[in-house]
Structure 1
C-alpha cells in the first residue's frame, strides 16, 4: 500500500518534471515555473512541499528583502532525477515502436 502510494505520487504529472528541472542546480520558485511548462502556482507549491516532506528537496530562505527562497535536490532527489532521466530515455528509444503498436491497435479496433 505504501509503495503504491509513493509510486503514484512519483508518477504523477508534475513530480518528475520538477525533479528533473532541479537536477541542474538550485532554482527559485518562479524559475521552476518557467522551466516546467504548464504547471500552476498551486500545483508547484503542492509538489515542492511533498518533495520536501519526503526528503528529496530542500528549501532555503535567504534573509533578503523581500526574502528569496531557493529549492534544491537532496542526494535522494538527485538519485530520483537520474531514474527519471533513464525513464525518459527509454520512452524516447521506444516512442516510434509504441506509436506503431497504437496505430495498429486503433485500426484493428476501428475495423471490428
Structure 2
C-alpha cells in the first residue's frame, strides 16, 4: 500500500541508531541519507521504506508495525530494540485477541512511538 512513510524525530542520531539496530533482524538497512533535516531512508526486502528526519516539533506518538517472516525474527527484533534503548511495551508472544497466529512484540522508541514486529504465520512455518 505504501511507497514510503516519513516522520519527524527529536534526536536524529539516537532515532537513526535505534531503528537501524532494532529493525536489522527484520532485514532493514540504510538505504540513503541526507542532512538530518532531510533525513534517512531505511529499506527492507520490499519496495516500501521508512524515512526519518530531525524536527523540533513533537509529533504525536505513532504505532508502527513491521512484518516479520518468522517468530524468531520477532524475538530478535525485541532483543535488538531493547539493546538499542527501547522500552518494553509487550514481550514476544501470541496475541490471540487479534487472531490465533498473531505473534508480536512491542517496544517504545526514543520519541515515544510504539514499535511492533509481528508474524502472522503459525508456529514452525
**When the two structures are superposed, what TM-score results if normalisation uses the length of structure 2?**
0.27
Q: Which has the larger radius of gyration?
A: 1
TM-score of the two chains, using structure 1 as the length reference: 0.30
More strand by share: 2
